[in-house]
Amino acid sequence: MALSTSSNFAKPDDAFRAIVEAHRGLSDAQSADLDAALVLILANHIGDIAVLREAVALAKRRVIDLQQQQQQQQQ
């Protein structure tokens, strides 16, 4: 596994906060634009296609798991 999922920030709250605050005052569309740019900038910084693919798989698994949970609740 090339992707690091252990905690890398000394102060994780600062990192979370920095991203949250970047979205303050933005419309949903602007937020989505911001996220898109942020993802591309960070992906390039990582610069490792194997890490990127693992990150995509991890993020996507969350989305799909959530979708399945919601479907089960509706049934």
Partner 1 sequence: MAQASSETGTVSGAKTQFGYRRHADQDRAAGDMAEHPVVVVGAGPVGLSLAVDLAQRGQQVVLLDDADRIGEGSRAICFSKRSLEYWDRLGVGDRMVDKGVVWSVGRIFHGPSELYQFNLLPEQGHKRPAFINLQQFYAEAYLVDRVEQLPAISLRWRNKVTALEQRNDGVLVSIATPEGSYQLLAAYVVACDGARSSLRRMVGAEFAGQVFEDQFLIADVKMTAEFPTERWFWFDPPFHAGRSALLHKQPNDIWRIDLQLRPDADPVAEKRPENVRPRIARMLGHDKFEFEWISLYKFQCRRMDKFIHGRVIFAGDAAHQVSPFGARGANSGLEDAENLAWKLDRVLRRQSPADLLDSYHIERSAAADENIRESTRSTDFMAPNTAQEARLRKAVLALASETEFGKRMVNGGRLSVPTVYDSPLSTPDSDAWRGGPRPGTSMYDAPIDGGYLTDAFNAHGKRFTWLAFGDGSTGEPPEGVGTIRIGEGGLADAEKLARSRYDAEPGTAYLLRPDGYVAARFRHPTPALLDAALSRAAGVN
Q: Which residues bind partner 1 (CB under 8 A)?
A: 32-33, 36-37, 39-41, 44
**Residue 1 or residue 41: which is nearer to partner 1 going by CB?**
41
Quick count: other Cβ atoms within 10 Å of Cβ 62? Answer: 9
> Closest distance between partner 1 and the C-beta of residue 56, in Å?
13
Q: How far is the CB of 44 from partner 1 (least distance, A)?
A: 4
47: left (phi over 0), alpha (psi -120 to 50) or beta: left
d(CA 7, CA 36): 23
The answer for residues whose C-beta is within 8 angstroms of residue 9's C-beta and 6 or more apart is: 15
Nearer to partner 1, 10 or 41 (CB): 41
Give the shortest CB-11-to-partner 1 separation in angstroms: 27
In the complex with partner 1, which residue's Cβ is closer, 12 or 48?
48
